[in-house]
Chain A
C-alpha cells in the first residue's frame, strides 16, 4: 500500500491542473473533467473513451420527467420543521432561481437538497465522522420552482467535515442540489458553497472546476436583505442549467 497523499501533494496537483487550464485554449471550461485526479475516487469511475455527440431532434432526452403538486409537501422546503424539536445550528434561508442558458425561468420543476447537520454529520450509516447526529435534523428538502423559476429553503448552515481523499482532507460546508430542467439533458446535480470559506483552496471537489469564474458560480452570496430580523441569515444562489444545444440559440451565448 502506498503512502496516502498529503494536503501538500493534493495542493500541487490542483495547482498543476489549473495551470494547464490557464495555458490551454483560453476558453472557459464550465464543468469538471471526469478524470480529475486530485479527487482520487475518479480514477476508476471516469470513461476512457470520448463521449459520442448525439444530435437527434427527436431524442427522448430533449424531453424530461414532470413533477407536480402531489410530489412535494409544504413542509419539505423547511428542513428545520421536520421533527418535534428545533435543530441545532445557524438558521439560514437559501433563495434563488433556476434558469436555462437563455435566462428563461425553469418553472414547476423539482429541486432537491441534502446536507450534513451543523456539526458536519450526515444521518447515513457509512458516515463515521465522530460528530454528533441531531435528532431534530435529517437534512433533506424538496420544492417545485415557482412561475419565476424561484425556489426557497429554510435550513441550518451545514458544518465542514473530514473525508479520506488524503491525509487531513476536509470538505468546505456545502448543500447538495439536484435540479431538473424541462429536458432530461438539462439534469444537474451539484453543490452550493458558502462565501469566504477558508477550506476552498484545499478541496479537490470544488477545485475540479478549474476555471475561476465557473467555480465562483458554485458559491452563494450572503444577502443582508434576505436575512430575517431576530430569525435567520439569508443567502442567494441562482442556478443555470446547461444544454441541450437544441433549446438555446448561438447569439445568446
Chain B
C-alpha cells in the first residue's frame, strides 16, 4: 500500500504534543543538551525533538507509561520512575535549546527524530555518546556531527544543524 504523505508539524503543536517531563526519560544518569540551528545559523525556536533509545542493558523493548495519566483529572503524571520507557519528547525553547535527562543506552546511541515548522518531512539523526565503529562508516568530514561533545562529568552537548556547513548527518531509514 502507498503511504500517507508527511506534512509539517506547523507552529502550533505546542499545546498538544509536549508534556510535562517529556525530556526526563530517567533521572540520575546523564544530561544531553543542545540547540537546533537553521541554515543561517539562527536558533530554531519551534522545533520538536523526539528521542528513542535502548535501556542501559541494550534492551530495546521499551515500556508504556511515558504519558501516564491521572485517572481523576486526566493530567499527565509521566513516567513512574521504575520502568524505562526509552522515549522522550522535547520542544525547543525560545533560544532553540533542548535538554534531555536519561541513562546511557547500552548500544551507544540515542535516536532522534526532528520536527519543525518549515520542515515538511521529519528528519532522523543519532546522538553517539562516545566513538563508535558506526561513525567510521560515515563520510569522514561529517561523522563528527553525530558525536556529542562531553562538557563535564555526565553532561554532553549535541547541536542539530538543519542546513549549511555544519549540517548534521540525517538518515534515510526507508
Instruction: Tell me which residues from 71 to 110 in chain B have a Cβ below 8 Å from any Cβ of chain A.
Output: 71, 74, 85-87, 105, 107, 109
Instruction: Write out, one digit per residue, whether chain B residues 28-65 have a CB within 8 A of any chain A CB (1) or not (0).
Output: 00000000001110101000001011100000111111
B148 at the interface (CB under 8 A from A): no
Q: How far is the CA of A142 from the CA of B122 in the complex (A)?
A: 20
Whether the Cβ atoms of B171 and A52 lie closer than 8 Å is: yes
What residues of B have a CB within 8 angstroms of the CB of A252 in the complex? 1
Chain B's closest residue to A76 (CB) is B74
Q: How far is the CA of A214 from the CA of B2 in the complex (A)?
A: 8
**A139-B16 contact given A54-B173, A70-B64, CB 8 Å threshold:** yes
> What total of chain B residues lie within 8 Å of the partner, measured CB to CB?
71
Among A58-66, A87-95, A225-233, the stretch that binds chain B is A58-66
Instruction: Tell me which residues from 92 to 125 in chain A have a Cβ below 8 Å from any Cβ of chain B.
Output: 99, 101-103, 110, 112-114, 116, 122-124
Whether the Cβ atoms of B39 and A72 lie closer than 8 Å is: no
Q: How far is the CA of A188 from the CA of B6 in the complex (A)?
A: 6
A88 CB, min distance to chain B CBs, angstroms: 19
Majority-rule SS of B interface residues: loop
What residues of B have a CB within 8 angstroms of the CB of A70 in the complex? 64-65, 67-69
Q: A residues within 8 Å of B by Cβ? A: 28, 30-34, 36, 39, 41-49, 51-54, 56, 58-61, 63-73, 75-76, 99, 101-103, 110, 112-114, 116, 122-124, 126-127, 138-140, 142, 176, 178, 184-185, 187-191, 205-206, 208-209, 213-215, 217-218, 239-245, 252
Q: B residues within 8 Å of A by Cβ? A: 1-17, 38-40, 42, 44, 50, 52-54, 60-69, 71, 74, 85-87, 105, 107, 109, 111, 113, 115-124, 134, 138-139, 142, 162-164, 167-174
